Amino acid sequence: MSIQTRRLFVFQVVIWFLAFSCSSQASAQQSQPEDVIRINTDLVVFDAQVVDKKTGKVFGSLQRQDFEIFEESVKQKLAYFSQDQLPLSVLLLLDVSRSVRPIIEQIGEGANNALRQLKPEDEVAVMAFANYPRLVQRFTKDRKLVAQKILQASQSTELGDGTFLNEALYEAALEMADSSNPANRRAIIVVTDNIAPASGKYGIQKVQTELLESGTVVYGLIVRAAIGKVFNILSFGTIHGVNTYCEETGGEVLGANRKEVDARLGDMFMRLRTRYTLGYRPPETNQEGVFRSVKIQLSPAILKTNKKLIVRSRHGYYFRKKTRTQGISSSRQVRFQLPTTSASHHSIYTHNNRRQQVSDSRQGRQAATSE
């Protein structure tokens, strides 16, 4: 091969390489918008579920124009709408009191089937409670590890035999700040016999406030072994510990017998995924720290043909304006994130503040245990 021919060959190789590189970069730039969600960052964000009030069946396939949202009775313009687009952060709050422990063990054995209903980007944490709560597993995407931790929690008797739900829900709400992404949709699934005393360290109002601050929806999976059924009869069925929190946060209460409990847990994951996410810009005149009442309803056109449909969602939020000083731009491109800078249950300010509270709470429990 002559020197001139060799140079020509090298030149052609260089030209081919540069052309391939440019083509790859252009292709990557063209495909990027498909993986990136553009969302304005100063939104109030709510999760909502639409169900048939008679059958309880979830109603899907609704569009942005099918919803109306009101803050303090004033209609707001929707700025964001999606369904099952943002990842889930789910905390399984397991009642391991004496009456429920055998059923929780069964959930652990069949948890892998239920966890298959989640997407790979969804994450799960596990907390057990009886006389007091204990975090068993922080948020993880490792489904096998979650199943192992559920089974481990069901076999422990260290937490006592009581059912102190308020303390457990309060700690669970704080723990939501430890999710990997403050933009994830947040949910606590309480598996319990629902026979919980109203007394305890935290009152209902304090727990509800923390749940609203964290932007968490509560679901209740009610299971009862023989002891729980007897106690329910003796109390004339008047004790419904988790119902109030489900109603306030827009969640649901579902029942399950011992044989179907793991399947019902899988149903809950699916129902969480069918929830709609709606966002709007809050009024600039809102006062810091004040509770704002919010109502989400279906449009008259939808209700005209579907009169039995109802919307379940949180009843309001606490406005937080401090987050505007966090140095976040007014809009950004983020991969599966919905960061917000004011009045949102996913605010960066609130998320970081809750992380500190979680840390302080853990240290307090460790100190109390060591004493």
Check if CATH label 3.40.50.410 holds for domain 88-273. Answer: yes
Q: Which one is predicted more confidently, 138 or 4?
A: 138
pLDDT digits (tens, 9 = 90+) for 74-112: 999 999 999 999 999 999 999 988 878 778 777 777 777
Q: Which one is predicted more confidently, 248 or 225?
A: 248
pLDDT on residue 160 = 81
pLDDT digits (tens, 9 = 90+) for 144-163: 999 999 888 887 788 887 88
- The domains of the chain are located at 37-84+276-354, 88-273
Categorise residue 215: left if φ over 0, alpha if ψ from -120 to 50, beta otherwise: left
Section 126-148 average pLDDT: 94
What is the C-alpha to C-alpha distance for residues 130 and 113, in angstroms, rounded to an integer?
26
Section 24-34 average pLDDT: 40
Would the pLDDT of 270 be above 80?
A: yes
pLDDT on residue 325 = 31
Would the pLDDT of 292 be above 90?
A: yes
The pTM (predicted TM-score) of the whole model is 0.77
b/e per residue 35-73 (b: at least 16 CB within 10 A): eebebebbbbbbbbbbbeeeeeebbeebeeebbbbebee
**In what helix (H) or strand (E) does residue 219 lie, and over which residues does it extend?**
strand 216-222
What whole-number percentage of the chain has pLDDT above 90? 47
Section 361-370 average pLDDT: 53
What is the C-alpha to C-alpha distance for residues 23 and 346, in angstroms, rounded to an integer?
39
Strongest mean pLDDT among 10-14, 214-218, 239-243:
214-218
pLDDT on residue 110 = 73
Average model confidence (pLDDT) for the chain? 77
